[in-house]
Amino acid sequence: MKFEILTLFPEMIMDSLRTSILGRAMEKGIISAKAVNIRDYADNKHHSVDDYTYGGGAGMLMQAQPVYDCIHAVLTEDAEKIEEETEKSVRDILKERKQTRVIYVTPQGRVFDQAMAEEFSKAEELIFLCGHYEGIDERVLEETVTDYVSIGDYVLTGGELPALVMIDAISRLIPGVLGSEESAPGDSFQNGLLEYPQYSRPAVWHGKEVPKILLSGDHAKVDAWRLEQSIERTRERRPDLFAAWEAAEQERIEREKAEKLRLKEERRRLRELNDDRSQGTV
């Protein structure tokens, strides 16, 4: 997986990505990440990328051309046929590269969740566009952005922190990034529920004991206990998630019932057909 983050503050991005699990994944070559400074594509000596907004209003707006040139450069830097590629527009290049997505980090986008993280983890290249000030000129967004994504209904000073949040969530779904391949499937939201409580040594701490079921060695009972805890925790802490899970679970049960009835009816018809054949009526 290749991440490219277009930003006015590349150090902020790379200092974060080089640490902990993501840093190790980068060292192993499982993922790659590069922060690109949009100011490098400004066409003035002061490397200014913002200006006043038409129509008035408070704050400055990031201009279209530096952003467009930055995205275009990122898309064409590894092209085998540089001259041919650089003549194409960003829109044309993205049409050809189905596995490349340009994500604009904005509170106006779809709210990021685990399902979206899984969707993005299947791409080959993700380009994150981080805005600042009052945002970015709408015209360049129309020409370049494939996905508008938010991490919540609040406003931050820039897109760097949301981009880092998404990169972290996406990366841990890529095989080899986590130390254990069993870690991600057990996380909260993977099955529509919050994760169950977990415990480590010592078995007794501040007078509180680890639930005895976890010490039993009976994996089936442990799994059942964990599911029960996940359901109860979701019911208490996230009733919205619980309602969605409960509806999906009911739908699953109804599907299973319908399938059992279908199979039962099919077996009945086969028995009748066999009886007819044995009696010579068919």
Sign of CA dihedral 107, 111, 114, 115: negative
pTM, full prediction: 0.81
- In a domain, residue 189? The reply is no
* pLDDT tens by residue, 203-222: 999 999 999 999 999 999 99
Nearest Cα residue to 170 out of 160, 178, 159? 178
- In a domain, residue 64? The reply is yes
- In a domain, residue 28? The reply is yes
Query: Of 119, 125, 187, 232, which one is the catalytic site residue?
Result: 187
Cα–Cα distance measured from residue 6 to residue 9, given in angstroms and rounded to the nearest whole number: 9
CATH code assigned at 35: 3.40.1280.10
Residue 153 designated active-site:
no
- In a domain, residue 76? The reply is yes
Query: Of 118, 119, 125, 134, which one is the catalytic site residue?
Result: 134
Phi-psi region of 182 (alpha: psi -120 to 50; beta: other; left: phi over 0): alpha
* pLDDT tens by residue, 229-274: 999 999 999 999 999 999 999 999 999 999 999 999 999 999 988 8
- In a domain, residue 247? The reply is no
- In a domain, residue 124? The reply is yes
**Number of separate domains in the chain:** 1
- In a domain, residue 43? The reply is yes
- In a domain, residue 101? The reply is yes
Query: Of 172, 233, 235, 238, which one is the catalytic site residue?
Result: 172
Domain that holds residue 80: 2-171
